[in-house]
Amino acid sequence: MARHGAGRNWYGKLVGAALGVTLLATGASVWAAQAGPANDAPPQASRPATPSQVVKPVSAVIAHASEAGARGVNITIDDGPDPVWTPQVLDVLEEYGVKATFCMVGTQAQAHPDLVKKVVAAGHRLCNHSVSHDTTMDKASEAYQKQQILDAERMITKASGGVRPVYYRAPGGAFTPYSRKLAASRGMRPLGWNVDTKDFERPGADAIVATVERELPNGPTLLFHDAGGDRAQTVQALRRILPRLKEQGYTCGYPVR
């Protein structure tokens, strides 16, 4: 799994000092909501926990395989949500009856909660892609990694209306043993990729399609983007790739957990 977009920390530069205050406020409110009533509140033992409140640890091994089996393909969409491109990606996925995994940046989810909810309503899965898409996270302290992962988890969960991300994809593949273990302890399976479509570089829809056809034998998890710039080529490529996969006997599903 090669690192994609190395050195891109284009979201991090937008965060600034104000984000720290926002994250503290957001984190406090979400954690308070998840923690349940105060000690002096009436007991609610008979009230079952909602799915978003139940956290079950998962494997810390980076996932690549598909739940759909040997002929399964995982469509993964990174860096959004984006108000221009995410709706177009969703439309293409709906047109071909495909479910995907959306790896969302915390600040983007916080800015566009309507889109996060739309992704969830369409039956797609959520993935934590850190707060600020810092591709140098693996060089940073464990405290910083923890902040990037857990704060993004809270931001995405709040934006979705309570649906938690079930995967964690490190920006640029900058995983560490610590970050993988931490994410897994929060029920987020570390998620890799097998086919980097290079759509972020905008090589043209033909090149994106050719990359998928050439590299799909390497494994089932495909990497696309719905934010970070003009994603028209990604939309065009998906419109061509998805029916071809079906014609070739593939089933688009979710990564293993």
Which residue ranges make up each domain of the chain?
63-253
Q: What single-letter DSSP state applies at residue 63? A: B
Q: What are phi and psi of 116, to 5 degrees?
A: -60, -45
Q: What confidence score (pLDDT) does residue 18 get?
A: 39
Give yes or no: 199 in active site. no
Q: Tell which CATH architecture fits domain 63-253.
A: Alpha-Beta Barrel (3.20)
Q: Which residues pair with 255 in a beta bridge?
A: 66
Beta strands in 115-166 (DSSP E): 125-128
Query: Among candidates 121, 221, 117, which has minimal Cα distance to 167?
Result: 221
Name the pairing type of β-strands 189-190 and 167-168: parallel
* pLDDT value, residue 187: 98
pLDDT number for residue 1: 59
| 225 noted as active-site residue | yes
Can you give the pLDDT at residue 5?
52
Contact assessment for residue 215 and residue 195, using Cβ atoms and an 8 Å cutoff: yes
pLDDT in tens, the chain (257 residues): 555 554 444 444 444 433 443 433 444 333 333 333 333 333 333 344 444 457 999 999 999 999 999 999 999 999 999 999 999 999 999 999 999 999 999 999 999 999 999 999 999 999 999 999 999 999 999 999 999 999 999 999 999 999 999 999 999 999 999 999 999 999 999 999 999 999 999 999 999 999 999 999 999 999 999 999 999 999 999 999 999 999 999 999 999 99
Phi, psi of 189 (to 5 degrees): -70, 125
Burial code (b: 16+ CB inside 10 Å, e: under 16) for 212-226 equals: beeebeebbbbbbbb
Which of these is catalytic: 78, 82, 134, 226?
Answer: 78
What pLDDT, on the 0 to 100 scale, is given for residue 54? Answer: 75
Catalytic entry in 129, 133, 225, 226: 225
